[in-house]
Every structure is written in C-alpha cells, then in structure tokens.
Structure 1
Amino acid sequence: MAGGDPEMFEKVKPIFDQIGGNIFYLGGIGTGQVIKMCNNIVLAANTVALAEAFATGVKAGLNPQTILDIFKVSTANSKALDLFGENIVNGTYEQVIFACSHMQKDVDLFMGLTNELKVPALLSTITHQLFNSAMKKGYGPQDMSVVAAIVEELADQKISSAKE
C-alpha cells in the first residue's frame, strides 16, 4: 500500500516486490496512510465485536473454546479471529502481535480523518472509546486484543472463566 509519485513508485516497485507480496499503488502522497487507517479500524472494530460475542456467549453459559471452534468454521471467521481468538479465549495478551498502543494511535488517526471529512463513524467511535479505556488502564504494551479485558469488565464476565 503506497502513495506518492507514480513514476517513483514504478522505479521502487521491484524493491517492494522483494519485501512483500501484495503491492498496491493508491495515488498521491498520503493515500497509503489512509488505507492503513481504514484497514486497521476494521481490524479494531472486528476485535471488539469478537470480545463482545465471546463475553455474551460465555455469560449465557457457552464454553469459550466451543465458541472459538464454531466461529472458525462459520460466518464469524475472520483474520481478527485467526490472529486474536486464542488470546481472547485464554485471557493472555502478553505475546504481542500488534501493540494496543499502536492500534490506539491508528484508531485516533482514523477518527481525526472522519472528523476532517465529516464522515459519521458510529461504530468507530465506540471502538475508539474502548481502546482509549485500554490505554488508561496501562494496557498499551500488551497485544491489542487486550481490549477484550475492557469488554469483560463492562460485561462483568471473564471470558476464560467457563473454560475450566
């Protein structure tokens, strides 16, 4: 995902091809940053939705591992589930795939962009609030899936508790 001068992009594209597989030219300077923000808000909101679904299912009496197993083979499957499902089920956020502080920064940037462009961001606003809460609790260095701990607190339900 890159933006900038198209001639310069073509010049350095062979280097990009060596670094990664999916190379997209998006347009002028800043467009790469915009798609990164858009992609990461989807990941953040998806992770929050997973945490809510796990907390609700567990509070209703379901086993979190069973929820995970079903989600993996159903329409709830997603890259967020693949990356963070085990963390959420086990309540372990120390093995960092993407730091909470980095995601909070990206969500902040996305919210700034939506404000600037006057785009309503209802789901993103809630996601932003939850990541801000995680930062206030000192969860910044942990994996971004630690946002599930905020959902657990709000739901008064540990997700991993039904696993034992």
Structure 2
Amino acid sequence: MIHKRLSLFISANFQARLTRIGLNSARRYSTSDPSKNDTIGFIGIGLMGFRMANNLYSKSNYPLIIYDINKSNLEKFTSLHSATISKKPIYYGISPADVAKRASVVITMLPSSPEVKDVYLGKDGLIEGLNEQNFFIDSSTIDQSVSKNVALQIINKGARQVDAPVSGGVVGAEAATLTFMVGASTEADFLRSKPYLEYMGKNIVRCGGLGTGQIAKICNNMLLAISMIGVSEAMNLGIKLGMDPQLLANIFNTSTGRCWSSDTYNPCPGIMPNVPSSNDYEGGFGNALVAKDLRLAVNAANEIQATVILGAIAQQIYNSLSKTPGYEKKDFGSIYKWLNERSGNEKN
C-alpha cells in the first residue's frame, strides 16, 4: 500500500512541541475544531505541495488540515507558522479519509498515478470519507485516463472534482505565480476551484472537461524538456567555442532563441542566482519526475499515433539522466552538466 497511516503515537518531543504551539493531535476531534465548510485540506506536503500549501494558508482565512506520509514535512510546515497557528489552526489528518471528513475542499499534490489512485480510492482513501459537501482539486501530473477515471468515481459518490496540474516549478510555487490547467466537467466546478487556486497561482485556465488539464500539462512539459535540452546544448557549445556564459545567455534572452529555460531557469551555473543550477541542481523539478511526465506524453502519443520525434528523444535522454548515479534527484537543468561531462569538460 503506497500511503500509510501516520503513527498513532507521536514522539514525546514532537507531542510536546504541538502542545506548545497550540496544536491538538489531528487524531482527536475537539469542540474547537472549525466546521467542515470552514476548513481546507491539503494532501502531499512535498517539494511543490509545501510551497503551495504555504501560500494557501498564508493568504486565506481558512484553517488547514494537512496530511503527508512524511511526518517531518508536517512538523516543518507547522513550525513555519507557529506565530499564527493559535488564531488560524493547522490540524493533522490521520488518513485521506479523515481529511475528507473534516474539510469540504481538499487539494492534492502527489507524485504519480499510483499515489493518486491510492489516496483517492484506496483503503482509508478520500472516497471513504466524502459526502456531497466535498470538492476535490487534484494538482498532480498523472495519466489523463487515470485522472478522469478517479474523478468520475468520486463524482459518482456524490462529491465534485477537477484536475488542476500546475506549471511554474518550485520558483512559481514559492512566488504563487503558478499556472493551473483545469479540467472540469462543468463551468460551475471550474468557478468553484478558482478562488482557492488563486491563492497559489497567477494564471487559472479552464482547458475543457475532466482530464484536459492533464493533457495540457503533459504537452507543456514535453515542450519544456525539449527546450531545456536545447538551451543546455547551445550554452555548452557557445562556451566551449569561447563565449562568455553570461553574455551568451543575455544574447539568447534578447533574440529568437529566448524561452523560459533560458531567461527564467537557465541551466548554466552562475547565470541566475536563485535557480537550482546555481545550487548544484538541488531542489527544483527532479529528473525522475521529468522522465515520468515524458513517458506520459509519449505513451499518449503512441495511443493516438501522433508523431513526437523530439519528445521521444527527450524521453530517452531523461530516462538515462534519471538513472545516472548522482543525478537521480537532481533538478532537470542538470542535463547541462550531464552533457558537459559527456563532452569531456567539467569546467562549467
């Protein structure tokens, strides 16, 4: 089973910390708990989810109930908000079902299709705790058919759901400038999701019916991976031919080669101070996740016999990169370093 219940017994030190900052263990219902309609749930407090939930909590007036299989993520999140937690509580869910019972709106940010199926449909999943009040927003990037199937099962149980994958990466999640690509079966569902998404993003776009958000996302990420490879190759080539890296990047960004991978997330170390390439490619959009998204895109293309030559090549490259020792968890801009090493020069 992919998701597991949080331990019923929190360590003495951790429990003491919760007591000091005014948190009840989320296992226990108390008379001070807000009503279901006044609470937002967030499941998946990982690299992206942490930042998204942070903006949601900081900008809204809603109490928050959070769930993640990694207990340290929960502690880190509550510690960040210790100054406001007495006035705007943060609760812990013991399972996705518990979150659904205690929050009317639940947002999920999960790594892949198996986790989404388990959290929504598995034992102690959201489907076991929902009622007609519940509204679910899944911001995971997963297979379009899985997304649609999960949503239909939730809707058939009386709740509502949209898919709303994101673009903008960790930088966008931190700054609340994400683009949300929303697949909703009705305009009313889209409009219901929008106020919550606006706490975390800048551009909220309805792509069509259920699953269309996932279609837009895999197409975008296929293009993103291709452009990152292209920028990395071009930067490597220009530098090896004698160009100054900063000057070359500036020329790209005022010329026809300009793109997000060059002007916002340049993969060459030292060009931009606040992106993973200048932090040894730590954090950011992991190579394994890029490889996963490319597999989704190429599989979808194969199913409908669409030609994606560069997409298929990008998939092969990122599959190799994500399996290279030392690169598995690095940001996808590390393709620059990987290519550089294969040309026999690790200087840049």
TM-score by length of 2: 0.42
Q: Counterpart of 2:331 in structure 1: which amino acid?
A: D
Distance 1:8 1:33, change over 3 A: same
Choose between structure 1 and 2 for higher RCO, CA contacts under 8 A separated by at least 6 residues: 1
Q: Is the 8 A contact 1:99 1:144 kept in 2?
A: yes
Q: Does 1:155 align with 2:335?
A: no
* Equivalent residue runs for 1:9-158 within 5 Å: 9-85=190-266, 87-90=267-270, 92=278, 93-138=280-325, 139-158=327-346
Deviates more, 1:115-124 or 1:73-82: 73-82
Pairwise CA distance, 1:81? 1.1
Q: Note the residue ranges of structure 2 that are not aligned, 5 or more in a row.
A: 1-180, 271-276
| Identity level (%) | 30
Pairwise CA distance, 1:4? 2.5
Paired positions, count: 159
SS of 1:24's equivalent in the other structure is strand
TM-score by length of 1: 0.85
Whose strand fraction is larger, Structure 1's or Structure 2's? 2
SS of 1:25's equivalent in the other structure is strand
Pairwise CA distance, 1:35? 0.5
Q: Note the residue ranges of structure 1 that are not aligned, 5 or more in a row.
A: none
SS of 2:199's equivalent in the other structure is helix
Q: Counterpart of 1:111 in structure 2: which amino acid?
A: V
* CA distance in 1 between partners of 2:191 and 2:232 (Å): 42
CA offsets 1:3-23 (integer angstroms, 9 cap, x no match): 122132233333233332211
Distance 1:41 1:159, change over 3 A: farther
Q: Counterpart of 1:113 in structure 2: which amino acid?
A: A
Q: Counterpart of 1:54 in structure 2: which amino acid?
A: M
Whose helix fraction is larger, Structure 1's or Structure 2's? 1
Q: Which has the larger radius of gyration?
A: 2
* CA distance in 1 between partners of 2:265 and 2:211 (Å): 29
Distance 1:107 1:159, change over 3 A: farther
Q: Is the 8 A contact 1:41 1:106 kept in 2?
A: yes
Q: Counterpart of 1:155 in structure 2: which amino acid?
A: S
Pairwise CA distance, 1:89? 4.0
Pairwise CA distance, 1:159? 6.4
Cα root mean square deviation, aligned: 2.0
Partner of 1:2 in structure 2? 182
* CA distance in 1 between partners of 2:225 and 2:347 (Å): 18
* CA distance in 2 between partners of 1:32 and 1:159 (Å): 41
SS of 2:202's equivalent in the other structure is coil
Which consecutive segments of 4 or more residues in structure 1 shift more than 3 A? 89-93, 153-159
